Amino acid sequence: MKIAVAGGTGAVGRHVVEHAEARGHAVVVLSRARGVDVRTGAGLDVALAGVDVVVDVTSVPTRSARESRDFFGATTTNLLRSGVPHVVALSIVGIDRAPYDYYAGKVVQEELLAAGDVPWTVLRATQFHEFARQVFENLGFGPLHLAPVMRSQPVAAHEVGARLVDLAEAGPAGRVRDLAGPEVLRMQDMVAAYARARSHRGPVLPVPLPGGFGKAMRDGSLLAGSGADLGTQTFASWLADR
Protein backbone atom coordinates (compact mmCIF):
# COMPACT_ATOMS: atom_id res chain seq x y z
CA MET A 1 0.00 0.00 0.00
CA LYS A 2 0.95 3.63 -0.29
CA ILE A 3 0.52 5.15 3.18
CA ALA A 4 0.79 8.85 4.02
CA VAL A 5 1.67 9.68 7.62
CA ALA A 6 0.56 13.20 8.56
CA GLY A 7 2.79 14.12 11.49
CA GLY A 8 5.24 11.36 10.57
CA THR A 9 8.14 13.14 12.29
CA GLY A 10 6.37 13.34 15.69
CA ALA A 11 6.51 11.23 18.86
CA VAL A 12 4.15 8.54 17.55
CA GLY A 13 4.37 9.41 13.85
CA ARG A 14 7.98 8.27 13.55
CA HIS A 15 6.94 4.83 14.83
CA VAL A 16 4.08 4.67 12.32
CA VAL A 17 6.64 5.38 9.57
CA GLU A 18 9.08 2.75 10.90
CA HIS A 19 6.42 0.03 11.17
CA ALA A 20 4.89 0.85 7.76
CA GLU A 21 8.29 0.79 6.05
CA ALA A 22 9.29 -2.42 7.84
CA ARG A 23 6.14 -4.07 6.43
CA GLY A 24 7.09 -3.02 2.90
CA HIS A 25 4.64 -0.17 2.37
CA ALA A 26 5.51 2.93 0.38
CA VAL A 27 5.45 5.78 2.91
CA VAL A 28 4.97 9.52 2.38
CA VAL A 29 5.63 11.79 5.38
CA LEU A 30 3.50 14.92 5.64
CA SER A 31 4.94 17.58 7.94
CA ARG A 32 5.90 21.22 7.59
CA ALA A 33 9.57 20.25 7.86
CA ARG A 34 9.01 18.03 4.80
CA GLY A 35 7.28 20.86 2.89
CA VAL A 36 3.65 19.88 3.46
CA ASP A 37 1.34 21.94 5.66
CA VAL A 38 -1.80 19.94 6.39
CA ARG A 39 -3.40 22.93 8.12
CA THR A 40 -3.15 25.33 5.18
CA GLY A 41 -3.17 22.59 2.55
CA ALA A 42 0.13 23.74 1.02
CA GLY A 43 1.75 20.85 -0.85
CA LEU A 44 -0.98 18.40 0.14
CA ASP A 45 -2.41 17.48 -3.28
CA VAL A 46 0.97 16.60 -4.76
CA ALA A 47 2.05 14.63 -1.67
CA LEU A 48 -1.17 12.59 -1.59
CA ALA A 49 -1.16 11.53 -5.24
CA GLY A 50 -1.78 7.77 -5.41
CA VAL A 51 -2.03 7.38 -1.62
CA ASP A 52 -4.34 4.57 -0.39
CA VAL A 53 -4.67 5.69 3.22
CA VAL A 54 -3.53 8.59 5.39
CA VAL A 55 -2.70 8.09 9.06
CA ASP A 56 -3.24 11.41 10.84
CA VAL A 57 -0.97 11.89 13.85
CA THR A 58 -0.48 15.65 13.57
CA SER A 59 -0.67 17.77 16.69
CA VAL A 60 -0.46 21.37 17.83
CA PRO A 61 1.20 22.47 21.08
CA THR A 62 -1.55 24.59 22.60
CA ARG A 63 -3.64 25.04 25.73
CA SER A 64 -6.19 27.18 23.85
CA ALA A 65 -9.49 25.50 22.94
CA ARG A 66 -9.94 27.87 20.01
CA GLU A 67 -6.46 27.13 18.63
CA SER A 68 -6.97 23.38 19.08
CA ARG A 69 -10.40 23.47 17.35
CA ASP A 70 -8.96 25.60 14.53
CA PHE A 71 -6.00 23.25 14.04
CA PHE A 72 -7.85 19.92 14.11
CA GLY A 73 -10.80 21.43 12.22
CA ALA A 74 -8.57 22.65 9.38
CA THR A 75 -6.27 19.62 9.19
CA THR A 76 -9.14 17.12 9.26
CA THR A 77 -11.18 19.08 6.70
CA ASN A 78 -8.20 19.27 4.35
CA LEU A 79 -7.54 15.53 4.62
CA LEU A 80 -11.22 14.71 4.05
CA ARG A 81 -11.28 16.93 0.94
CA SER A 82 -8.06 15.50 -0.46
CA GLY A 83 -9.61 12.51 -2.21
CA VAL A 84 -7.73 9.91 -0.12
CA PRO A 85 -10.00 6.85 0.22
CA HIS A 86 -9.38 6.15 3.94
CA VAL A 87 -8.39 8.39 6.86
CA VAL A 88 -7.07 6.82 10.09
CA ALA A 89 -6.82 9.26 13.02
CA LEU A 90 -5.31 8.91 16.47
CA SER A 91 -7.40 10.36 19.28
CA ILE A 92 -7.15 10.24 23.07
CA VAL A 93 -9.01 8.24 25.71
CA GLY A 94 -11.31 10.48 27.75
CA ILE A 95 -11.56 13.50 25.43
CA ASP A 96 -15.33 13.58 25.91
CA ARG A 97 -15.11 13.11 29.71
CA ALA A 98 -12.42 15.63 30.64
CA PRO A 99 -12.78 19.40 30.16
CA TYR A 100 -9.35 20.23 28.71
CA ASP A 101 -8.88 22.89 26.06
CA TYR A 102 -6.63 20.75 23.83
CA TYR A 103 -9.24 17.97 23.89
CA ALA A 104 -11.84 20.36 22.41
CA GLY A 105 -9.96 20.10 19.11
CA LYS A 106 -9.79 16.30 19.31
CA VAL A 107 -13.57 16.19 19.73
CA VAL A 108 -13.94 18.35 16.59
CA GLN A 109 -11.57 16.00 14.72
CA GLU A 110 -13.64 12.92 15.64
CA GLU A 111 -16.94 14.67 14.82
CA LEU A 112 -15.73 15.78 11.37
CA LEU A 113 -14.57 12.26 10.51
CA ALA A 114 -17.84 10.69 11.65
CA ALA A 115 -19.94 13.24 9.75
CA GLY A 116 -17.92 13.16 6.53
CA ASP A 117 -18.26 11.04 3.40
CA VAL A 118 -14.76 9.57 3.50
CA PRO A 119 -14.36 6.10 5.06
CA TRP A 120 -12.52 6.51 8.36
CA THR A 121 -11.04 4.80 11.40
CA VAL A 122 -10.44 6.38 14.83
CA LEU A 123 -8.22 4.85 17.50
CA ARG A 124 -8.18 6.42 20.96
CA ALA A 125 -5.02 5.81 23.02
CA THR A 126 -3.95 6.81 26.51
CA GLN A 127 -0.90 8.98 27.25
CA PHE A 128 2.43 7.73 25.92
CA HIS A 129 5.23 6.81 28.35
CA GLU A 130 6.97 9.98 27.12
CA PHE A 131 4.37 12.03 29.01
CA ALA A 132 6.45 11.59 32.20
CA ARG A 133 9.45 13.14 30.45
CA GLN A 134 7.34 16.07 29.26
CA VAL A 135 6.06 16.67 32.80
CA PHE A 136 9.59 16.44 34.22
CA GLU A 137 10.97 18.89 31.66
CA ASN A 138 8.09 21.39 31.76
CA LEU A 139 7.44 21.53 35.52
CA GLY A 140 10.97 21.87 36.91
CA PHE A 141 11.93 24.73 39.21
CA GLY A 142 15.60 24.31 40.03
CA PRO A 143 15.97 20.99 41.87
CA LEU A 144 12.20 20.82 42.54
CA HIS A 145 9.91 19.14 40.01
CA LEU A 146 6.13 19.07 40.18
CA ALA A 147 3.82 16.32 38.96
CA PRO A 148 0.04 16.60 38.69
CA VAL A 149 -1.89 14.20 40.87
CA MET A 150 -3.05 11.90 38.10
CA ARG A 151 -3.87 8.27 37.45
CA SER A 152 -2.43 7.30 34.09
CA GLN A 153 -2.33 4.13 32.01
CA PRO A 154 0.68 4.93 29.85
CA VAL A 155 1.26 3.08 26.60
CA ALA A 156 4.37 2.70 24.43
CA ALA A 157 4.24 5.02 21.43
CA HIS A 158 5.79 2.29 19.25
CA GLU A 159 2.90 -0.05 20.09
CA VAL A 160 0.41 2.68 19.17
CA GLY A 161 2.32 3.19 15.91
CA ALA A 162 2.09 -0.53 15.10
CA ARG A 163 -1.65 -0.58 15.83
CA LEU A 164 -2.19 2.40 13.52
CA VAL A 165 -0.47 0.54 10.69
CA ASP A 166 -2.66 -2.54 11.43
CA LEU A 167 -5.70 -0.28 11.09
CA ALA A 168 -4.45 1.33 7.88
CA GLU A 169 -3.98 -2.14 6.38
CA ALA A 170 -7.34 -3.44 7.60
CA GLY A 171 -9.54 -0.79 5.94
CA PRO A 172 -12.16 1.59 7.32
CA ALA A 173 -13.62 0.46 10.66
CA GLY A 174 -15.05 3.59 12.34
CA ARG A 175 -14.26 3.92 16.04
CA VAL A 176 -12.23 0.90 17.12
CA ARG A 177 -11.35 -0.45 20.57
CA ASP A 178 -9.22 1.90 22.66
CA LEU A 179 -5.55 1.09 23.22
CA ALA A 180 -4.01 1.61 26.66
CA GLY A 181 -0.92 0.59 28.57
CA PRO A 182 -0.69 -2.57 30.69
CA GLU A 183 -0.89 -0.89 34.14
CA VAL A 184 -2.35 2.09 35.98
CA LEU A 185 0.27 4.29 37.63
CA ARG A 186 0.45 7.53 39.59
CA MET A 187 2.02 10.32 37.57
CA GLN A 188 4.14 11.41 40.55
CA ASP A 189 5.70 7.91 40.65
CA MET A 190 6.34 7.94 36.90
CA VAL A 191 8.00 11.36 37.06
CA ALA A 192 10.06 10.35 40.13
CA ALA A 193 11.24 7.19 38.35
CA TYR A 194 12.11 9.21 35.26
CA ALA A 195 14.01 11.70 37.45
CA ARG A 196 15.98 8.91 39.15
CA ALA A 197 16.83 7.40 35.77
CA ARG A 198 18.35 10.77 34.83
CA SER A 199 20.28 10.83 38.15
CA HIS A 200 18.21 13.77 39.31
CA ARG A 201 18.25 13.91 43.11
CA GLY A 202 15.76 16.69 43.85
CA PRO A 203 12.21 16.08 45.10
CA VAL A 204 9.17 15.44 42.92
CA LEU A 205 6.14 17.05 44.51
CA PRO A 206 2.61 15.87 43.63
CA VAL A 207 0.25 18.80 43.00
CA PRO A 208 -3.53 18.42 42.63
CA LEU A 209 -4.53 20.62 39.69
CA PRO A 210 -7.65 22.75 40.18
CA GLY A 211 -10.78 22.65 38.07
CA GLY A 212 -12.57 20.01 36.06
CA PHE A 213 -9.50 18.73 34.26
CA GLY A 214 -7.59 18.35 37.52
CA LYS A 215 -10.49 16.30 38.84
CA ALA A 216 -10.55 14.19 35.66
CA MET A 217 -6.83 13.49 36.07
CA ARG A 218 -7.44 12.21 39.57
CA ASP A 219 -10.74 10.36 39.20
CA GLY A 220 -9.76 7.94 36.43
CA SER A 221 -11.55 9.70 33.55
CA LEU A 222 -8.38 9.40 31.47
CA LEU A 223 -8.08 5.63 32.00
CA ALA A 224 -9.33 3.13 29.45
CA GLY A 225 -12.31 1.01 30.41
CA SER A 226 -12.43 -2.76 30.60
CA GLY A 227 -13.11 -3.10 26.85
CA ALA A 228 -9.77 -1.63 25.80
CA ASP A 229 -6.87 -3.47 24.24
CA LEU A 230 -3.73 -3.34 26.37
CA GLY A 231 -0.20 -2.84 25.14
CA THR A 232 2.56 -4.96 26.64
CA GLN A 233 5.48 -2.64 27.39
CA THR A 234 5.43 -1.35 30.98
CA PHE A 235 6.66 2.10 31.93
CA ALA A 236 9.60 0.54 33.83
CA SER A 237 10.63 -1.44 30.76
CA TRP A 238 10.35 1.65 28.55
CA LEU A 239 12.51 3.56 31.03
CA ALA A 240 15.10 0.77 31.15
CA ASP A 241 15.37 0.93 27.35
CA ARG A 242 16.26 4.61 27.38
The site for ligand NAP (CB under 6 A) is made up of 6-7, 9-13, 30-33, 36-39, 57-60, 90, 92, 106, 125, 127-128, 131
Strand 179-180 relative to strand 229-230: parallel, antiparallel, unpaired? parallel
Nearer to ligand NAP, 144 or 235 (CB): 235
In whole angstroms, what is the distance from residue 61 CA to residue 153 CA? 22
Q: How far is the CB of 128 from ligand NAP (least distance, A)?
A: 4
Rounded CA-CA distance 116/65 in Å is 22
36 or 204: CB nearest ligand NAP: 36
Which of residues 47 and 204 has its CB atom nearest to ligand NAP in the complex?
47
Nearer to ligand NAP, 57 or 224 (CB): 57
Q: How far is the CB of 10 from ligand NAP (least distance, A)?
A: 2
Of 78 and 142, CB closest to ligand NAP = 78
* Segment holding 14, helix H or strand E: helix 13-22
Least distance (Å) between residue 43 CB and ligand NAP? 9
CA distance 197 to 71: 35
Q: Which is nearer to ligand NAP, 74 or 203 (CB)?
A: 74
User: H helices within 51-205, ranges in order?
Assistant: 65-80, 101-115, 131-138, 157-170, 187-197
Query: Which residues have C-beta within 8 Å of that of residue 46, sequence separation ≥ 6?
Result: none
- Which single residue brings its beta carbon nearest to ligand NAP? 10
| Burial class (CB within 10 angstroms; exposed 0-12, middle 13-18, buried 19+) of 174 | exposed
CB of residue 197 vs ligand NAP: minimum separation in angstroms? 19
102 vs 145 by CB, closer to ligand NAP: 102
CB of 62 to ligand NAP, least distance (A): 11
In angstroms, the CA 180 to CA 92 distance is 10
Angle of the 131-138 helix axis to the 187-197 helix axis, nearest 10: 80
Minimum distance between the CB of residue 169 and ligand NAP, rounded to whole angstroms? 19
In the complex, what is the shortest distance from the CB of residue 105 to ligand NAP, in angstroms, rounded to a whole number? 8
What is the dihedral sign for C-alpha 2, 160, 86, 79? negative
